Chain A
Amino acid sequence: MSLTVTDLRVHYRTPRGEVRALDGVTFTVADGEIMGLAGESGSGKSTLGTSLVRLDGRMRHVGGTVELDGVPLPVADSAAMDRFRFRAVSVIPQYSMSALNPTRKIGKMVAELLASRGERPDRAELERRLALVGLPPDVLGRYPIELSGGMKQRVVMVVSTLLNPSLLIADEVTSALDVSSQKAVAGMLLGLRDEGLVTSMIMVTHDISLVYQIADTIAVMYAGRLAEKAPADVIVTAPRHPYTRLLISSLPEVGVRQAERRLDGIPGTPPSLLDPPEGCRFRDRCPLAFDRCAERPPFAEVAPGHSVACWKAV
């Protein structure tokens, strides 16, 4: 097992109280697995992604453990985490376009970053990896402002994976791109894994149709908890959680005339995470809800590699 997350709880400190962005999340990611992490905005998927790398000032680790390759990750202790960052767990952040220091040439920045981690930059290897994502070696002599948004993103992809991390978190990497670039970037992420530059990957996204193309498994989050995790095609073809079902049915299908079939949304809104209700958090919007839903459903395995948090699915 590459990554094991057990009952992870991370809250945001706000003036109005604690927002329970992650409220007991348990899952595993196997060696070589690309896991898509889907959910609507505010579901906690980005929080989960960043929690595994670096909690920012407003985030507080409340409970739960994270284990990577058999070693516990000290997610709550930022200083102790430094040892693991970049080498064991790395991130392609949501803000890739502005992630590079604007006043440093890219090659120089990479060299300084590596030096500060006690690594020697290997120019030939760096150029080989740039070629892998379709960038010419001369980007190293340029400033970030001289690159297009897509190029910056690919530079960040190369930089983040330079030390061959065991786990890579790709946070909404395709959100800011046009459709054809999305496809290309998704292919590059796949390439990183296939080339063995990263062992496994969590791809945070709200775009299930995109993540479906490259992910081995997909986990769906709802209101700070995991609703369902299963192999990608199972999530798409045979979802068990009512939320996943509604989510999938709300996606447009190629070849279907929308005049014949109206796209359904999911009525209602997710609950506030400031003071979430007891039991299943989807029950107010769930067409299948019944008495037992007032009790929190366990995230239980219903088939090999397929876990669902729903009483109806058990």
Chain B
Amino acid sequence: MPRYFGRKLLIYGLTFFVAVTINWMIPRFMPGDPVQSMLARANIAQPEAVEAMRVHYTDLFGFDLPLWKQYANFWAALFRGDLGISIWLFPTPVADVIARAVPYTLGLLLPAVLLSWVAGNRFGAFAARRKWLDNTALPIGYLLTATPYMWLAILLAWGLGVVAGVLPVAGAYSFAIQPEWSWDFAGSLLQHWLLPFASLFLVAFGGWAIGMRNMIIYELEADYVRYLRSLGASGRLIRRYAFRNAILPQVTGLALQLGVLVAGALVTEIVFSYPGLGHLILQAIQNQDFFLLQGIFLFIVVGVLIANFVIDVAYVVVDPRTRVGMGGAA
């Protein structure tokens, strides 16, 4: 068991290293010059002042150093918890910018991921046993899961926000109020949260329901179910066993989905102008904000790795077969 987790941790460590390196490389190899765009934003006519500012900024961000030194400095700073200073929101530290956006993204993603997983699995297992439900729910499930996140988001925003006018379509809370600890604010937060949540939830729900329905049908045909049936075991026991075994691939699927979902949340946040990480990514790209982009990606990488690790551990708990394999090549 310790060997198994030792190997897993090593793999996660390597993944982290590679991901962070790529993460550092990408913005630097993007076309465009962030210092140039900052100067342009400053809108100064005097060439001497412009030159002075360029030197100042280049020095400040360390762009004058050779690449390998920038890379080494980046790791050194990372271990001090220093993600650099945002170019877009200069001079706010990147860590602060991210810390402000993270609650919104997590508040949107975590419930959407977990609730859709739980509800989709329950519903899929339920639908598998009823022919009429299977025949009606399955096409709807396929439709939902094939829907691009942003398209559903736009549909919801248009239908419920613009046409029906019952829910707000932009922001995380009403522009008329300031964040504070009050029922007013909480209500506004919830109102603005509903549509982005629904668009993420529905798409994922369809996928989980279909996956679970197929797995349950497969499990109910398995030999151990046939054996239990020939011994007259109750339907309840058989359903319990089938559900328990069918959920295993869904757990793996959840781990795989996490990375994709962050991307899904990105466009959803953009559609609803929701001030989470996705929104920040867009701003960071548009403003050539290396440090912010790096910081956000780092956060996402760490998040996906942690989630995968948690699921690895959970898998060991729920599937005895992984435990047996641990002594050997696993």
Contacts and interface: CB of A to CB of B under 8 A. Distances in A.
Q: Helix, strand, loop or mixed for chain B's interface?
A: helix
Given A103-B245, A143-B320, A145-B320, A93 B223 contact: yes
Contacts of B245: 101-103
A207 interface: no
Interface in B289-329: 318-321, 324
A312 interface: no
A283 interface: no
B231 interface: yes
Contact of A56 (B224, B226, B228): B226
A53 B168 CA distance: 61
Interface stretch (B65-73, B131-139, B169-177, B233-241): B233-241
Contacts of A85: 230-232
Q: Which of B232, B234, B248 is most buried by chain A, counting CB atoms within 10 A of its CB?
A: B232
A238 interface: no
B224 A102 contact: yes
Contacts of A103: 241, 244-245, 248, 318-321
B232 A99 contact: no
Contacts of A160: 231
Given A95-B223, A113-B231, A143 B237 contact: no
B56 interface: no
Nearest to B323: A143
Contact of B232 (A50, A112, A117): A117
Contacts of A95: 223, 226-227
Contacts of B100: none
Contacts of B319: 103
Contact of B230 (A93, A98, A104): A93
Interface in A239-292: none
B7 interface: no
Contact of A104 (B233, B236, B241, B248): B241
Contacts of B324: 143, 145-146
A116 B230 contact: no
B229 to A, nearest CB: 6
Contacts of A100: 224, 227
A83 B321 CA distance: 34
B232 A156 contact: no
Contacts of A81: 232
B236 A98 contact: no
Interface in A63-106: 81-87, 90-91, 93, 95, 98-105
Contacts of B229: 54
Contacts of B318: 103
Contacts of B232: 81-87, 117
B10 to A, nearest CB: 26
A102 B321 CA distance: 8
A138 to B, nearest CB: 15
Interface string B94-108: 000000000000000
Nearest to A101: B224
A84 B230 CA distance: 10
B227 to A, nearest CB: 4
Interface in B171-229: 222-224, 226-229
Nearest to B318: A103
B320 A91 contact: no
A90 B231 contact: yes
Nearest to B238: A116
B224 A53 contact: no
| 3 shortest interchain CB distances as A-B pairs | A85-B232, A99-B227, A116-B234
Given A53-B230, A85-B232, A116-B234, 14 more contacts: A81-B232, A82-B232, A84-B232, A90-B230, A93-B227, A95-B223, A95-B227, A98-B223, A98-B224, A99-B227, A100-B227, A103-B320, A104-B241, A113-B237
Interface of B: 222-224, 226-234, 236-237, 241, 244-245, 248, 318-321, 324
Interface of A: 50, 53-54, 56, 81-87, 90-91, 93, 95, 98-105, 112-113, 116-117, 143, 145-146, 156, 159-160
21 contacts: A54-B229, A83-B232, A86-B231, A90-B231, A93-B223, A93-B227, A98-B224, A99-B226, A100-B227, A101-B224, A101-B245, A103-B320, A112-B237, A113-B233, A116-B233, A116-B237, A117-B234, A143-B321, A145-B321, A146-B324, A159-B231
